[in-house]
Amino acid sequence: MGALNADAHLYDVVVIGAGPVGLATAVGLRSRGITNIAVLERARSFRQVGQVLDILPNGLRALKYLDPQAHQAILEPTAPAGPPRPASQWFYRDLQGQPIRSVSMDSEDWLEKYGEGRNSLSWFNVQTRLRELLPQEDIWVNHRCINLKAEADYVEIDCVSNTTEERNPYAHWATPAPEVAETASPATLENKQLRAKLVVAADGINSTVRQWLHPEGSGFVQATPVYSGFVAFLCMDVGELPEALWAELSEQYFQGQPIVTVCQDAEPHEAALSLDAPTGRSRIMMFRRGNSCGYIVHAPISLEVLQGKSGAASIDLAVQQLEQAGFSDCIKQFVGLAPPEQFTQRPYYMHPVDLEGNTAAWSSGKVVLVGDAAHGMPPFLAQGVNQGFEDAAVVVAGIERIRQQGLWGDEGAIASQFQQYEQLRRPVMARVQKLTLTEKARWSDEQSEDYNQWVFCRDLVRDLEVF
């Protein structure tokens, strides 16, 4: 890891945030010979945190463009090689247990249909696999960016280390135990400045850099994330289930599969953004691993109702929500059995990408936002990190052009590359976000296939050639 003391070194690129998108950007830069880089990460160490991410064909295609080794590393199965397992299907069912739709979880099926496979990995595994492709000294942990200053020839980045590690309510899950707040007296804080010709900000949905780009009073309403209208209630392990309850769940819903999503009945419609009284529908994903079962409920609930609730009160709220939505007694009983210490509640925030009106730009001068910092959203289409990898590919292509043409000092050329990146990516993100807030399980077969073809089969490399 990098040392803490300042030097006057001028980096070509500093990436802020060692999450999946920041690391993919750094890997892509390195593979193009842009090695004078540093990745700053506010966490004090790399820990087993985060949700499971589905890495899908468009994300894999972007990774292949960034560095074939990254593509290979992310595709690597987690389980040891053994006899092939039967292809599993993820079923979406209605309240009675009738199938609405099913999705293959078999990478080979995806490869055949969309030209790339899929893999499911924890956030930490994605981070680790990408991190291992970079020299350790490129990654500076315990460096939280707190401010930037744009100078004529470079950007100065203010960092602070050994600070209180506050829990980020907008980023990944903090399970099984919430992060412990670590405190440090001001005397133990260390400040450091770094200089970079370009800054790529991949610091997640609660981005410090985004807030620096669009400070309060600048007229943009979107510097900080807005509530999406949906909350997740999660329990990774409900514990031992009464036999009769498991028999009912198994017969009516699981039907031999390890994972199932049960959706509220209603006519399809779109949820709006930032709803005071959300109008979307509830669903529950239930999963079984060995002898343990868990769930994620996604429900439209206003923030006011959530406020101040945790533990048992939050479990009651989840059960009430399912009751109102007409879910069966066995599902409500299953949700209510969660031990409070295994239960997490998490409102989903987003940065709405609007194609019209007063939208916050993704770059200014030598500083550009990527991933959740630009367009965070709820995970209903499993596209957050996949779209972030696409951002990384486009930004890396732009930086490679700047390097090849010797334009590091040309502010106009840099701004133009970053604006072109946004022009290419913003319409895609606007569509993905809009669809994310609709209920995919209720799309028609035609809508579903149109979406799959569009999102998974877009030719990113061709797009990059014309941009």
Ligand X SMILES: Cc1cc2nc3c(=O)[nH]c(=O)nc-3n(C[C@H](O)[C@H](O)[C@H](O)COP(=O)(O)OP(=O)(O)OC[C@H]3O[C@@H](n4cnc5c(N)ncnc54)[C@H](O)[C@@H]3O)c2cc1C
User: Nearest-CA neighbor of 3 among 137, 194, 197?
Assistant: 137
User: Nearest-CA neighbor of 263 among 457, 64, 23, 94?
Assistant: 94
CB of 361 to ligand X, least distance (A): 17
Query: 41 with 17: CB under 8 angstroms?
Result: yes
Residue 190 engages ligand X in binding (rule: CB under 6 A):
no
Report the residue number, 14 or 330, with the smaller CB distance to ligand X: 14
For residue 383, with 0-12 CB atoms within 10 Å meaning exposed, 13-18 middle and 19 or more buried, which class applies? Answer: buried
User: Nearest-CA neighbor of 101 among 452, 448, 456, 451?
Assistant: 448
401 C-beta neighbours (distance < 10 Å), count: 15
Query: 41 with 49: CB under 8 angstroms?
Result: no
Q: Which stretch binds ligand X (CB under 6 A): 38-46, 253-261, 314-322, 455-463?
A: 38-46
Residue 19 engages ligand X in binding (rule: CB under 6 A):
yes
Report how many residues bind ligand X under the rule CB under 6 A: 31
Residue 43 engages ligand X in binding (rule: CB under 6 A):
yes
Q: Which stretch binds ligand X (CB under 6 A): 11-19, 85-93, 109-117, 241-249?
A: 11-19
CB of 349 to ligand X, least distance (A): 10
Residue 383 engages ligand X in binding (rule: CB under 6 A):
yes
Q: Which stretch binds ligand X (CB under 6 A): 10-18, 85-93, 280-288, 360-368?
A: 10-18
- What φ, ψ does residue 48 adopt, rounded to 5°? -70, 80
Alpha-carbon dihedral sign for residues 231, 236, 242, 245: positive
Alpha-carbon dihedral sign for residues 393, 361, 38, 180: negative
Residue 424 engages ligand X in binding (rule: CB under 6 A):
no
Instruction: Tell me which of 28, 300, 347, 384 binds ligand X, using CB under 6 A.
Output: 384
Report the residue number, 52 or 305, with the smaller CB distance to ligand X: 52
Instruction: Tell me which of 27, 133, 171, 235 binds ligand X, using CB under 6 A.
Output: 171
Residue numbers 143-162 binding ligand X by CB under 6 A:
144-145
Who's near 424: CB < 8 A, 6+ residues apart? 394, 463, 467
d(CA 299, CA 305): 12
Q: Which stretch binds ligand X (CB under 6 A): 179-187, 239-247, 383-391, 401-409?
A: 383-391
CB of 59 to ligand X, least distance (A): 6
CB of 405 to ligand X, least distance (A): 28
Q: Which two tokens stand for residue 36?
A: 């004078």
Residue 57 engages ligand X in binding (rule: CB under 6 A):
no
CB of 347 to ligand X, least distance (A): 10
Q: What is the binding site for ligand X (CB under 6 A)?
A: 16-22, 40-43, 51, 53-54, 123, 144-145, 171, 202-204, 208, 371-372, 379, 382-386, 388
